[in-house]
Amino acid sequence: MAIHVVMEPPASAGKNASESAVFVRDGVYFFGFVAPILWMLWHRLWLEAVVTFAVGLALAAASEWAGLTIAAPLLPLLISLYVGLEGGALRIAALRRAGWSQWGVLEADSADDAEMRYLFAAGTLEDEPVPATVAISPAVAPRSPTTGAALGLLNYPGRN
């Protein structure tokens, strides 16, 4: 299951928070690794795209100036790796700068599942049936501690 961070718009935006919430998946963004600037522009990370472009130019100029002809193609790989790994954090930071607030963190298989869990937790799905509770078995009496030999640092109950 993936972790999704739920970001809600500011109250001054005049939007319903539950309808316009943004779900940002915490994980690796492959397209952010392959084409970081295009990925940032797609997600409207304008400032980050400009900084990434400037850093890429600076790295190219520095490698040319230092005579690193072999390492020059590898330096943009660092930028791509950063965007691929931290793309979600970049999106969350941009939303926070825009005044959005973090509602919470959800664990779900997909963005659709995360949206359903968010809407259920926010109380907007009142007409939906509540899932049946799971029957919990009565507490079982704990085992008596064993005093036999243990392998390693831990003593596993019921095993010698």
Kindly give, in sequence order, each residue whose CB lies less than 8 Å from that of residue 72, ignoring residues fewer than 6 positions away: 60, 63, 64
- Each domain of the chain, given as residue ranges in start order, spans 2-122
Percent of residues, the chain, with pLDDT higher than 70 = 74
Q: Give one word for 76, left, alpha or beta, with left for phi > 0 and alpha for psi -120 to 50.
A: alpha
Q: Tell me: the pLDDT tens digits for 48-93?
A: 999 999 998 888 888 888 887 777 778 788 889 999 999 999 999 9
Mean residue pLDDT across the chain: 78
Q: Tell me: the pLDDT tens digits for 5-63?
A: 999 888 776 667 777 888 999 889 999 999 999 999 999 999 999 999 999 888 888 88
pLDDT the model gives residue 127:
54
Give the separation between CA 124 and CA 8, rounded to whole angstroms: 14
